Structure 1
Amino acid sequence: MTRSCRRLRRGAVIIAAVAALVVPLGGGTALGAPDSAPAVVGQPSPSPSPSPSPSDDFRRLTPEVKRQVDRAVERVMREANVPGATVGLWTPDKGSHVRSFGVADKETGRRMSPDLYMRIGSETKTFTVTALLKLVDEGTISLDDMIGEYVADVPNGDRITLRQLAGMRSGLFNYSEDQDFFKALTSDPERSFTPQQLLDYAFRHPVLFQPGEEFSYCNTNLILLGLVVERVSGRPLQDYIRENILEPAGMDRTIFPTDAAFPRPHAQGYTNQTADGKVANSTDWNPSWGWAAGAMISTLEDLRTWAPIVATGVLPDGDTLISPVTQKQRLDTPPTAIPGAGYGLGIFDVQGWLGHNGSLPGYQSLTIYLPSARATMVVLLNTDIDHDGTEPSTLLGEAITKIVSPEHVFNLPAQPTGR
């Protein structure tokens, strides 16, 4: 397997890391773990007490702490050659900090700014799984239903549950690791893929392991769950998510595109996930290949709204989006092969930070929430090009959290690439 194809697989492991489509290309790597451990970057803050109280889990965002954060971000951007980044930190009692760095367009020199639309890759998985969980709350499906009840011809379809798909423990092959898929995508990045075409790439391969035996980040799982949502709800996935998640949350600048359309203003994206390995502008590439695993677009402020919703199941107005019983199942995050990272139902837990990352050619994102401090962090970048084998969103997440939450450092080590 080529390195580029492996990166597509990662797509976005956020929290992984554990995603871009966690695959980079598709869907972003949203948690697609890097090929090597992240470098130590950023300036460490003084060590807190050995057993801090919840209020000590996040440092007050004083002018000096903000300067430390800015210097750390600038250092990572310089070392990793990141064109532009926007960082947001928010707490109810320790202050907030929002700042953009660098350029949104390398040709014109247009500056990065907090209002830009960005592709969010594998963070899409959090919306698709939320849609699934809403159907669970409605009683129309069960997490322990077999995928074969809803989609035909799935390998082991009579043994793989919806829960195992959402938890990345199905054993199915990741379509974005298929060589023919990579060739098809990079030879014509503006082409449109259907969900069935994506599944066809996956199902030509044997299963990797029996359901539930291991954790393996896989975009195929989310394509299947997207089809379940459509078939049970009777609505196109993008419409169901808009009507049942985005509108109740007040997220009117988050979009599930059905083509390559990209609202303005947006940043230009830069990737080396190309047929020849050279850096290209991927802004207008069609994200259909990520679909339910990585096609969505959002903004800093909307992701700020989304972070605590995913982590708590509660909307900004206090209403419940996901019932406490179902949300508890979502937050059951068994260990993965990634040290310090657990993965639940479409959500990571990395050293106490809950959320997901995303990566799509040209873009990366990280949206996480620290419940003990009610702190939110969002990072948006206009490149997905690794630095020494590590995703730049992971480098920035680690550098920032070393400063603001030294007891909870987002240090997403590399994911083993044994398969």
Structure 2
Amino acid sequence: MSSWERELDAMAHNTGFSGVVAVHQGDDSRFENAYGLAHRGYAIPNTMDTRFGIASGTKGLTALTVVKLIEQGSLDLTTSARSVLGTDLPLIDDAVTVEHLLAHHSGIGDYVDEESDLEITDYVLPIPVHRLVDTEDYLAVLDGFPAKFSPGARFAYCNSGYVVLALIAQRVGGRPFHQLVRELVCAPAGMRDTEFLRSDELPGRVAVGYLPFEDVSRTNIFHLPVRGSGDGGVFSTVADFRSFWPAFVAGDIVSPEWVAEMVRPRSDVPEESKRYGLGFWLHESKDVVILEGCDAGVSFQSAHDPSSMLTFTVISNTSDGVWPLAEYLNEQLWP
């Protein structure tokens, strides 16, 4: 075990990390370990094949679903949201396009505003979470938020924008959004364990998400939609992301030309020390491509360097468990 591997393992133990860590280079595994409990009540440990929520990591899969529909001729980057939404969500500017939504340049109001002072333990959804099952159900939480700025004016990370993309994909694709993601992205990427699961009927081998309350093991079941949509809510494994990245960069999901377009920087985001393409975060100066997410009882980061085929994935069933380990890996693997 190298010095950085020993330090990473020690950091996981010292921080009380609950989740999984994997570092791979091509077909070679450089580090794999699981820590903590998938279910605290029954003392079920996390393992390397535990399925975890990945929160906004879902946005990359949503973007790929939309781009695949563009490849198939059902959409275009210039397609207006209004042309698909009809009279739904009237506060969305008629000039907002699919490209604006993918790049977080739409300016539409956000039902979960990343710029607000929300606590991760707050109950933010305005309707009971059990009512959010299918993507069309999200119309009830998306409506009523005025635009922040004109389409294309600047970058502003927007969860609502990615639910709108899921609505658009579902309507033009002719089948449920969850099915589209499975067929168009997960199947060609070999992501067999990646699925939009219902939080109230989780199968075996799935980690329960826990919130940061002192001396209380409180789960996230009342904080998140019972089933996610375009902005978050997929459950996955480190093995599936080991499959995903090579499939993505090889053009097995969308064409190499579209891969290049999706990882072309569209915005500098200095407050995150990153750039942004279409559905993917990008390293501030290197060609490393990143998916990440954080929500109540969930944290996730997976990063891939196409030139070296080096990948790391860290997933936790706590709200902030990933970040110390992911920051360390970023420093060690691509300083």
- Tell me the TM-score normalised to structure 2 length: 0.86
**Shift in Å at residue 359 of structure 1?**
2.4
* Equivalent position of 1:43 in the other structure: none
Hey, what does 1:225 align to over in structure 2? 165
1:339 Cα deviation (Å)?
5.1
Q: Classify 1:192/1:321 alpha carbon distance in 2 versus 1 (closer, same or farther; 3 Å).
A: closer
SS of equivalent residue, structure 1 residue 357? strand
CA contact (8 A) 1:172 1:202 kept: no
Say yes or no: does 1:326 pair with 2:258. Answer: yes
Structure 1 Cα separation of the partners of residues 208 and 197 of structure 2: 17
**Which residue is 2:11 aligned to?**
72
CA 1:116–1:295 in 2, change beyond 3 Å: closer, same or farther? Answer: same
One-letter code aligned to 1:364: S
Q: Which residue of 2 aligns with 1:249?
A: 189
Once residues 204 and 221 of structure 2 are traced to their aligned partners in structure 1, the CA distance between those partners, rounded to angstroms, is 12
AA aligned opposite 1:393:
V
Tell me the CA shift for residue 313 of structure 1: 5.1
Q: Cα deviation per residue 1:151-200 (whole Å; 9 max; x = unaligned)? A: 13443442111011011111011112399xx7574885544365455444
1:289 is displaced (CA, Å) by 6.5
How far residue 288 of structure 1 moved from its aligned partner, in angstroms, is 4.2
Q: 1:111-170: per-residue Cα shift (whole Å, max 9, x none)? A: 221111111111111111101001111122111111111113443442111011011111
Would the alpha carbon gap of residues 173 and 377 (structure 1) be closer, same or farther in structure 2, given more than 3 Å must change?
Answer: same
Question: Within the alignment, does 1:155 sit opposite 2:74 as a pair?
Answer: no
Contact 1:122/1:358 (8 A) holds in 2: yes
Q: 1:126 aligns with which of 44, 57, 60?
A: 60
Q: 1:350 aligns with which of 273, 280, 283?
A: 283
Instruction: Compute the TM-score of the two structures, normalised by the length of structure 1.
Output: 0.70
Q: Distance in 1 between matches of 2:69 and 2:278?
A: 14
Which residue is 2:318 aligned to?
383
Q: Is the 8 A contact 2:93 2:151 kept in 1?
A: no
1:88–1:97: 8 Å Cα contact kept in structure 2?
yes
Number of residues of Structure 1 aligned to a counterpart in Structure 2: 324
Cα deviation, residue 244, structure 1 = 2.0
2 CA distance for matches of 1:200 and 1:108? 36
Pairing 1:239-388 to 2, within 5 Å after superposition = 239-257=179-197, 260-272=200-212, 280-282=218-220, 287-288=225-226, 290-310=228-248, 312=249, 314=251, 320-333=252-265, 334-338=267-271, 340-351=273-284, 352=286, 353-384=288-319
Counterpart residue type for residue 318 of structure 2? T
Contact 1:253 1:299 in 2 (8 A): yes
Q: Which has the higher contact order (CA 8 A, sep 6+)?
A: 1
* Residues 249, 214 of structure 1: alpha-carbon distance in 2 compared, 3 angstrom cutoff: same
Measure the CA separation in 1 of the matches of 2:124 and 2:269: 31
Deviation at 1:393, TM superposition (A): 2.1
Counterpart of 1:91 (choices 13, 22, 25) is: 25
In the superposition, relative to structure 1, how do residues 184 and 97 fare at CA in structure 2: closer, same or farther (>3 Å)? closer
Rounded to whole Å, the distance in 2 between the matches of 1:270 and 1:145 is 40
Partners of 1:234 and 1:377 in 2: CA distance = 35
* Counterparts in 2 of 1:267 and 1:356: CA distance versus 1, 3 Å: same
**1:375-404 CA deviation, whole Å, 9 max, x = no partner?**
1111011110xxxxxx4322221112323x
Aligned-partner residue type, residue 87 of structure 1: V
In 1, the alpha carbon distance for the partners of 2:141 and 2:222 equals 24
RMSD of aligned residue pairs (Cα, Å): 2.9
Question: Paired residue for 2:106?
Answer: 170
Kept in 2: contact 1:364–1:382 (CA 8 A): yes
The CA deviation at 1:85 is 2.0
Distance between the aligned counterparts of 1:253 and 1:218, measured in 2? 27
1:27-106 equivalence runs, <5 A: 62-75=1-14, 77-78=15-16, 82=17, 84-92=18-26, 95-106=29-40
Contact 2:136 2:167 in 1 (8 A): no
Instruction: Flag the 1:232–1:331 CA change in 2: closer, same or farther, 3 A.
Output: same
- Give the partner amino acid of 2:109: F
Change (3 A) 1:258 1:269: closer
After superposition, what is the alpha-carbon deviation per residue over 1:57-98, rounded to whole angstroms, capped at 9, x for unaligned? xxxxx54332122123333x24xxx4x121000003875210
How far the C-alpha of 1:226 sits from its partner, in A, is 0.6
Cα gap change, 1:256/1:87 in structure 2, threshold over 3 Å: closer, same or farther?
same
The answer to whether the 8 Å contact 1:287/1:294 transfers is: no
